[in-house]
């Protein structure tokens, strides 16, 4: 288990490095001059030059990158050009919001997706099967933010079951937290649940035809045990392999769905950073997101290894 | 909810799908044609100027003047929707074209060159793909600035990664093909090879990828415009319309409906066309499946004749009488007919025949695990004095493992790859005999030792893929015998193994039978193996038994021409030189069985009367041939 984690971690670490190089060099392409952004049209030529010197902008790009990387490794992602708050602080403040949406929508997507996929595999051409297929087709075509608007119209505006906007931190009230994230999470997670259901269905149909399923039944094990232990364990292997991709999609979707529910998460931060040409903020956001993606990838890799003995280090 | 019911999952009714999908394709094409038409002629068709404000008429519902109502500035929603079509078409075309123009050449190049270029570009692609797509677009928009065309450049760069990987993949696959190598040998230039020889192979997957990308671009454009980074107000796009709708949700929710429906219908249509294209391109590549032969079964079943009764044996464990198995709905197609045999304690009965003769199905019928669509329609299966056909499925489940167990052909697929072999044996012991975890594990290790595996404690913790085929089969045998069943069904248990290992496994069966005293139903197509291990042999052909006798009798004095044919097709170590005689033709499939004697169309001795149903003779020696008494089929005569 420990070796498995270590092995996957070593495989994923270079990715973070490459992303950091990419992020830094791309954001250096931003057309605006940060000194102009900060000082505006005011200030003399000397003041501009002084600030430029103090920010290290006169150094060559690779020196600036190394300085930035060194600070980033210590958890310092610089401070916003716009209001000089610490990037790390701003991101960490918004992170729980976006994480809540991503985690709850992933939970919904996995639970609903696996249940519907198994049911569809067991009863081909039944209503569950047709519904899962139809859901997957529509799930790919319905914009999640539009689905969010519709959910707001029905469940928040008309029925008043859930708040239409806002976010309550889980530390404040777990119940209110759940109420505030449930609609955006459904809006986000539905299309993923349909995609997962399709994968589970096809994996399960394949596994149920395997000899070991028949052999386990021949040994007198109950249908339920064979289905949920022997078949599902194997059917989940290919599903887990693509799960981190689904969660990455959810993370990206959360940035937009946040806007529907006026939730102050990473999405709002990113949109503001684009409008303000706030380079350190954008760099920090990309790095933190890739960090999240890598953490998810690591988790799914480990689960994959636990499910599939052939993928474990020997 | 049973496992068996799920097995026909692959079968999907084709005719219904084809006609329905034709209609759907027509609808999809019409929707896209309408979209393009509206985009081109928006100026003529739209009833109002999409930008003209009329604050007195703001946020109205649908009316005769404004079919889809007005927005917060009193602008006509229908007109804005129509102009939105133009944006959608421009966005999809622009971003997809950029993605193709950027991704395909780079992919072709790095795939063809390989080496450092390939390595560096692929690492960058991996990094981009690991960032959520919308964040990549946001960063690029930060560099380029917001706006329709800039946002589409951003999306084009984002989606170029999938075209890059696609083109690279095709090149890697084609580069080593013989025609490409020979083009290189005759001195064709690299660019000529790339564009003349390799590029045409990219076209089919490229078309499919384009449709997928168009759908994704439409959704992303709407998303970016929705958060204010794509199309900028006051210009009308579906995304900006939804942005407005979100702000006025409480006042007029209807604003969100028209642009939402427009996006969904467009993306659905594009995706549907993509699916159809992928299917038709895929069909072009895949080999055409053999056409299903029409069933020509005539209901002249031999079951009409009285079932022969196998003689009663001492300490009888299993007695099968007049068994008939059908596939499909009423009346169905017979798979096995009029099958009767019995096995006594400590005895091994061989079930021999070519593949397709119904041997494995017989074994599964005894276990009650034939699968969906198959059912026993006649006869009885009596195990230890209990008629299995009278039992509920839960009661049969109790007997499985305890009274009857099965060893399958391929041990590497009959053991679950996800669990250790020891735990798979222990699981059976816990479920069937209620042992504790500790007891079950100890017993599993003891069983593993009993089947002749050294270091049983360590081996128990191994996974199936870590064991050799012979060792895995020993494990499967240990699991089958874990609850000491009175009947063991062994379905070609040595066929998947090396010849040397085969002999060891056969010895193990004999050994274990001496110790446990179970009856064995040994299914094999290999007469030499059957001769080695069986006491009696029952020969099956096309779903029925044609002959049964003790091993020596059968080998020295076969009564049925099919048995004789099988015997003469057996290779002997001593006389290698003469070519092996074979039985001409194949076992006919169920539904294509000849009337009367089912072997008659392959039999050298067939006469006109063979077209009548033939009954099996009763007693110790059973044979199903009209001419059994006239023919002398002894080998060497």
Cβ of A212 and B256 within 8 Å? no
Cβ of B369 and A230 within 8 Å? no
What is the structure's pLDDT at B526? Answer: 87
Q: Taking Cα atoms as reference points, which of B36, B79, B68, B80 lies closest to residue B238?
A: B80
Smallest CA–CA distance from A126 into chain B, residue: B9
What is the structure's pLDDT at B307? Answer: 55
Smallest CA–CA distance from B479 into chain A, residue: A219
Record the pTM.
0.81
Does A82 contact chain B (CB < 8 Å)? no
Mean pLDDT of A254-272: 90
Spatial contact of A77 and A283, defined as CB atoms under 8 Å apart: yes
What is the structure's pLDDT at B283? Answer: 53
Smallest CA–CA distance from A212 into chain B, residue: B414
Does A220 contact chain B (CB < 8 Å)? yes
Cβ of B1 and A157 within 8 Å? no
Q: In terms of C-beta density within 10 A (0-12 exposed, 13-18 middle, 19 or more buried), how is residue B204 classed?
A: middle
Cβ of A149 and B242 within 8 Å? yes
What is the structure's pLDDT at A40? Answer: 67
Sort out which chain A residues have CB atoms less than 8 A from B415's CB and list them.
212, 215
Q: Tens of pLDDT along A13-40?
A: 888 888 888 888 877 776 666 677 666 6
Does B427 contact chain A (CB < 8 Å)? yes
Cβ of A273 and B142 within 8 Å? yes
Long-range contacts formed by B585-591: CB under 8 A, 24+ apart = B586/B354, B586/B356, B587/B353, B587/B354, B587/B355, B587/B356, B587/B357, B587/B541, B587/B542, B588/B542, B589/B293, B589/B356, B590/B297, B590/B327, B590/B333, B590/B334, B590/B335, B590/B542, B590/B543, B591/B293, B591/B295, B591/B296, B591/B297, B591/B333
Q: Is the pLDDT of residue B261 over 90?
A: yes
Cβ of A149 and B6 within 8 Å? no
Q: Tens of pLDDT along A193-221?
A: 888 988 898 899 889 988 899 999 999 89
Q: Tens of pLDDT along A125-143?
A: 888 788 878 887 888 889 9
Smallest Cα distance from A85 to chain B, Å: 20
User: Which residues, numbered 262 to 281 in chain A, qualify as contacts with chain B under a Cβ-Cβ cut-off of 8 Å?
Assistant: 267, 270-271, 273-274, 277
- pLDDT bucket at A73, cuts 50 / 70 / 90: confident
Mean pLDDT of A53-76: 79
Domains and CATH numbers, chain B: 34-57+65-280 (1.10.3720.10), 308-403+487-637 (3.40.50.300), 411-484 (no CATH)
Give percent above pLDDT 90 in chain A.
Answer: 25
Interface test with B, best of A220, A263, A285, A306 (most B CBs within 10 A): A220
Smallest Cα distance from B257 to chain A, Å: 8
Ranges assigned E (strand) in B230-332: 316-327
Cβ of A293 and B132 within 8 Å? yes
- Cα–Cα distance measured from residue B347 to residue B210, given in angstroms and rounded to the nearest whole number: 66
Cβ of A149 and B428 within 8 Å? no
Pairwise pLDDT comparison (A137 vs B29), residue with the higher score: B29
Smallest Cα distance from B202 to chain A, Å: 25
Sort out which chain A residues have CB atoms less than 8 A from B428's CB and list them.
219-221
Q: Is the pLDDT of residue A314 over 80?
A: no
State chain B's mean pLDDT as an integer: 83
Does B432 contact chain A (CB < 8 Å)? yes
Does B146 contact chain A (CB < 8 Å)? yes
- Cα–Cα distance measured from residue B22 to residue B9, given in angstroms and rounded to the nearest whole number: 24
Nearest to B431 among A122, A140, A221 (CB): A221
What is the structure's pLDDT at A28? Answer: 73
ipTM score assigned to the predicted complex: 0.87
Cβ of A123 and B431 within 8 Å? no
Cβ of B138 and A274 within 8 Å? yes
Smallest Cα distance from A211 to chain B, Å: 5
A-B contacts (CB, under 8 Å): 249
Does A118 contact chain B (CB < 8 Å)? no
- pLDDT bucket at B512, cuts 50 / 70 / 90: very high
């Amino acid at each position: 288990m420990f070796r498995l984690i270590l092995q996957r971690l070593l495989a994923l670490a270079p990715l973070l490095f490459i992303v950091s190089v990419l992020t830094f060099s791309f954001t250096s392409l931003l057309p605006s001059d940060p000194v102009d952004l900060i000082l505006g049209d005011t200030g003399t030529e000397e003041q501009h030059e002084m600030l430029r010197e103090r920010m290290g902008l006169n150094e060559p790009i690779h020196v600036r990158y190394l300085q930035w990387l060194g600070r980033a490794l210590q958890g310092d992602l610089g401070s916003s050009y716009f209001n000089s708050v610490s990037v790390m602080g701003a991101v960490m403040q918004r992170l729980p919001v976006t994480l809540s949406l991503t985690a709850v929508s992933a939970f919904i997507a996995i639970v609903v997706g696996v249940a519907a996929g198994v049911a569809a595999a067991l009863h081909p051409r039944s209503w569950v099967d047709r519904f899962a297929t139809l859901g997957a087709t529509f799930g790919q075509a319905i914009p999640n933010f539009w689905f969010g608007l519709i959910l707001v119209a029905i469940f928040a505006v008309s029925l008043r079951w859930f708040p239409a906007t806002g976010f309550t931190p889980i530390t404040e009230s777990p119940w209110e937290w759940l109420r505030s994230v449930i609609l955006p999470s459904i809006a986000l997670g539905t299309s993923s649940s349909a995609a997962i259901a399709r994968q589970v269905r096809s994996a399960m149909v394949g596994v149920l035809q395997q000899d070991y399923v028949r052999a386990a039944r021949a040994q007198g094990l109950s249908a339920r045990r064979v289905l949920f232990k022997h078949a599902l364990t194997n059917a989940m292997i290919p599903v887990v392999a693509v799960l981190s991709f689904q969660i990455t999609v959810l993370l990206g979707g959360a940035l937009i769905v946040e806007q529907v529910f006026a939730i102050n998460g990473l999405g709002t931060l990113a949109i503001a950073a684009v409008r303000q040409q706030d380079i350190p903020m954008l760099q920090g956001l990309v790095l933190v997101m890739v960090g999240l993606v890598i953490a998810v990838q690591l988790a799914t890799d480990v689960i994959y290894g636990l499910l599939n003995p052939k993928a474990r280090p020997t | 909810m049973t496992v068996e019911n799920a097995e026909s999952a692959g079968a999907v009714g084709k005719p219904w799908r084809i006609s329905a999908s034709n209609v759907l394709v027509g609808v999809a094409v019409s929707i896209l044609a309408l979209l393009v038409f509206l985009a081109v002629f928006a100026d003529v068709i739209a009833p109002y100027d999409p930008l003209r404000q009329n604050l007195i008429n703001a946020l109205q519902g649908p009316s005769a003047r404004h079919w889809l109502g007005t927005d917060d500035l009193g602008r006509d929603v229908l007109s804005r929707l129509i102009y939105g079509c133009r944006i959608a078409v421009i966005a999809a075309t622009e971003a997809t074209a950029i993605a193709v123009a950027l991704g395909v050449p780079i992919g072709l190049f790095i795939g063809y060159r390989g080496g450092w270029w390939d390595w560096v570009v692929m690492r960058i692609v991996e990094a981009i793909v690991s960032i959520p797509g919308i964040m990549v677009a946001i960063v690029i928009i930060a560099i380029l600035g917001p706006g329709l065309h800039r946002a589409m450049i951003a999306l084009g760069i984002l989606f170029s990664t999938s075209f890059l990987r696609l083109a690279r993949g095709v090149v890697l696959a084609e580069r080593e093909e013989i025609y490409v190598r020979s083009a290189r040998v005759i001195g064709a230039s690299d660019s000529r090879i790339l564009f003349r020889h390799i590029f045409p192979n990219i076209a089919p997957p490229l078309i499919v990828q384009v449709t997928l990308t168009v759908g994704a671009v439409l959704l992303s454009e709407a998303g970016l415009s929705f958060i204010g980074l794509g199309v900028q107000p006051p210009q009308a796009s579906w995304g900006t319309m939804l942005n407005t709708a979100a702000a006025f949700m409480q006042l007029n929710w209807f604003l969100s409906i028209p642009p939402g429906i427009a996006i969904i219908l467009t993306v659905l249509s594009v995706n549907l066309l993509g699916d159809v294209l992928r299917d038709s391109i895929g069909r072009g590549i895949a080999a055409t499946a053999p056409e299903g032969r029409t069933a020509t079964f005539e209901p002249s079943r031999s079951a009409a004749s009285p079932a022969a009764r196998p003689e009663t044996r001492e300490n009888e464990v299993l007695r099968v009488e007049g068994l008939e198995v059908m596939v499909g709905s009423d009346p169905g197609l017979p798979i096995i007919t009029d099958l009767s045999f019995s096995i006594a304690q400590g005895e091994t009965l061989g079930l021999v025949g070519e593949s397709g003769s119904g041997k494995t199905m017989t074994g599964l019928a005894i276990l009650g695990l034939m699968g969906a669509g198959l059912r026993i329609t006649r006869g009885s299966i009596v195990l230890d004095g209990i008629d299995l056909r009278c039992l509920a499925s839960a009661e049969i489940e109790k007997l499985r493992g305890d009274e009857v167990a099965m060893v399958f052909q391929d041990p590497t697929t009959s053991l679950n790859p996800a669990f250790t072999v020891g735990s798979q044996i222990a699981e059976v012991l816990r479920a069937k005999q209620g042992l504790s975890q500790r007891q079950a594990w100890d017993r599993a290790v003891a069983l593993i030792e009993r089947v002749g595996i050294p270091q049983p404690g360590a081996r128990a913790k191994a996974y199936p893929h870590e064991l050799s085929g012979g060792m895995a089969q020993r494990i499967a045998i240990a699991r089958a015998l874990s609850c000491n069943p009175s009947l063991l069904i062994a379905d070609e248990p040595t066929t998947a193994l090396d010849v040397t290992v085969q002999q060891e496994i056969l010895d193990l069966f004999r050994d274990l039978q001496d110790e446990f005293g179970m009856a064995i139903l040994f299914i094999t197509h290999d007469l030499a193996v059957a001769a080695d291990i069986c006491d009696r042999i029952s020969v099956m052909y096309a779903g029925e038994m044609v002959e049964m006798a003790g091993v020596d009798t059968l080998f020295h004095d076969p009564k049925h021409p099919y048995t004789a044919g099988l015997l003469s097709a057996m290779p002997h170590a001593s006389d290698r030189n003469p070519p092996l005689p074979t039985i001409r033709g194949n076992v006919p499939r169920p539904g294509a069985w000849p009337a009367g004697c089912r072997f008659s169309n392959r039999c050298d001795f067939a006469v006109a009367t063979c077209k009548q149903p033939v009954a099996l003779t009763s007693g110790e020696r059973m044979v199903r041939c009209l001419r059994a008494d006239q023919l002398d089929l002894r080998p060497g005569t």
